[in-house]
Chains A and B, each alone.
Chain A
Amino acid sequence: MIPADLKYTKSHEWVRIDGNSATVGITDFAQSQLGDITFIDIPSINKPVKAGDSVAVVESVKAASDVYAPVNGTIAEANPELADCPEKVNSDPYGNGWLCKLSNVTMPASSNLMTPAEYEKFLENGAE
């Protein structure tokens, strides 16, 4: 069920890296934990971020959660469809529910990205 062409973080983001661009979203596990998503705030277009910086805030009925950059880069684009349809993050978290694209992507010095198999194992072990 977990897409094979993505990498994953312990804070339940996924990233698709294409050369020096990347697309970032949250995993199915994350969207299910959050519940019905009502708003996505991506405040800092064109801002450079380091892996671990907050790139977005996802609001659900119950709470607001940060989404963290899995890699270094510049926030190039926010998914325009989410303004009207934030529920896409719930219904299609790996596809149309992508959150933002990064440019000028570089890997951080110590990368904590997991392969699909490692992420699945991480979830099985209680996501800690």
Chain B
Amino acid sequence: MLKTPLAEEHEKLGARMVDFSGWYLPVQYTGIVNEHTAVRQACGAFDTCHMGRIMVTGSGSGDYLSAVVTVDAANMPVGRCRYGFLLNNDAGIIDDLIVYRLAHSEFMVVVNSATHDNDLVQLRQHIKPGVKIEDVSSSMAKIDIQGPLSPEITSKTLAFDLTDLRYFQTRIVSFRNSSIIVSRTGYTGETGFELYVPTGLIAEIWTTCLKHGATPSGLGARDTLRLEAGLPLYGHEFSTDVTPLEAGFMRYIDLQRSFIGSETLRMKAKSGPARKLTPFTIEGRQSARNGNAAIIGGEKAGFVTSGSFAPSLGYCIGFAYLDSDMSANSNTFEIDNGRKILNASVSKTPFYKK
């Protein structure tokens, strides 16, 4: 397994460690519900070093990225982050990602860990002269600080006032003669920050933010938080078998632009998606899980991509792909969890609202 620079810190805290896509990471420290609640009510800190960070720089880097991902990088302001997709020619999702414009010709693309290698292959395959691609994932560590108290705690940790950094803005903060990239972004549905820190400084930054009151939080809470916030997870809601059209993410895409997959997407948008990513709730505490069959009128109509008990809500939530025709007139459907049939109601995201 690959270890993050914070592996020893997690062990010191007695975290339960697991193999997450080949990475040695904490699933929990004190308990998933505890950590989830800490993030919702105060502040939690997550080791997210396993994610990929790719620098795209040089003359024409903006135009290059605009042609390769769905984000119009060439036309975004410096100091801003934008969410989008890396698609293949069939408009299948290779990854979902965030593009950071750090300077006119300097971009950082933040990607998922399991898809990192495939992303680099695709980016390099379409490289243009003058553009430089550098994978900085091992020299740059990453942590997320999330929760209502995160502006204060992050500011104290970096000895720099970040309380006015706006949502999806990014800036570079000087810390001990090094540069730390900070963005007001996250994966929890709370106010929060993502910090990109030179590897040599990360243990200090981590322990400092815990000292200022952040609760160390693991992958288990990260998943319940993102699901409550209605956020998709690659490998569950997204894969190369799925287009942003089926997933319902077209609001992030400008179909007037040209990028890899745009032609196919324009064509598919004309006829509408054959299946739709559908948020649902289940009364009670018995959860649906990834892979469970969704049933409408006694027939298989799709499958669950994510499901869990929602600690901040007290009932169960999830996502499922449902056949568009079969689900057109129902706002309920059934889920076979392998032991019994659960009754699901079509819902809206976010599941949890502040």
Contacts and interface: CB of A to CB of B under 8 A. Distances in A.
A59 B33 CA distance: 14
A35 interface: yes
Given A35-B28, A38-B309, A39-B309, A61 B33 contact: yes
Interface residues of A, number: 14
A46 to B, nearest CB: 18
B22 interface: no
Given A61-B311, A64-B339, A39 B286 contact: yes
Nearest to A35: B32
A36 interface: yes
B286 A59 contact: yes
Given A59-B309, A61-B311, A35 B285 contact: no
Contacts of A36: 31-34, 311
A57 B32 CA distance: 20
Interface of B: 27-28, 31-34, 220, 224, 284-287, 289, 308-309, 311, 337, 339-340
Contact of B285 (A38, A43, A62, A63): A38
A57 B33 CA distance: 20
A61 B339 contact: no
Nearest to B314: A38
Determine which residue in A36, A43, A59 has the highest number of CB atoms from chain B within 10 A of its CB, and name it. A36
A70 interface: no
27 contacts: A35-B27, A35-B28, A35-B32, A35-B220, A36-B33, A36-B34, A36-B311, A38-B285, A38-B287, A38-B309, A39-B284, A39-B286, A39-B287, A39-B309, A41-B286, A57-B339, A59-B287, A59-B309, A61-B33, A61-B220, A61-B308, A61-B309, A61-B311, A64-B289, A64-B337, A64-B339, A90-B31
Contacts of B340: 43
A19 to B, nearest CB: 32
A61 B311 CA distance: 9
A36 B36 CA distance: 11
B339 A62 contact: no
A86 interface: yes
A114 B28 CA distance: 30
B313 to A, nearest CB: 12
Given A38-B285, A39-B309, 7 more contacts: A35-B27, A38-B309, A43-B340, A62-B32, A64-B287, A64-B289, A86-B285
Interface in A61-91: 61-64, 86, 90
Given A35-B220, A38-B309, A39-B309, A61 B32 contact: yes
Contact of B224 (A41, A43, A61, A63): A61
Interface in A3-54: 35-36, 38-39, 41, 43
Contacts of B33: 36, 61
Interface string A99-113: 000000000000000
A2 to B, nearest CB: 21
A64 B316 CA distance: 14
Contacts of A61: 32-33, 220, 224, 308-309, 311
A43 B34 CA distance: 29
A128 to B, nearest CB: 19
B173 to A, nearest CB: 35
B40 to A, nearest CB: 15
Given A36-B32, A39-B309, A59 B285 contact: yes
Contacts of B308: 61
Contacts of B311: 36, 61
Contacts of B286: 39, 41, 59
A86 B311 CA distance: 13
A90 B28 CA distance: 15
Nearest to A83: B285
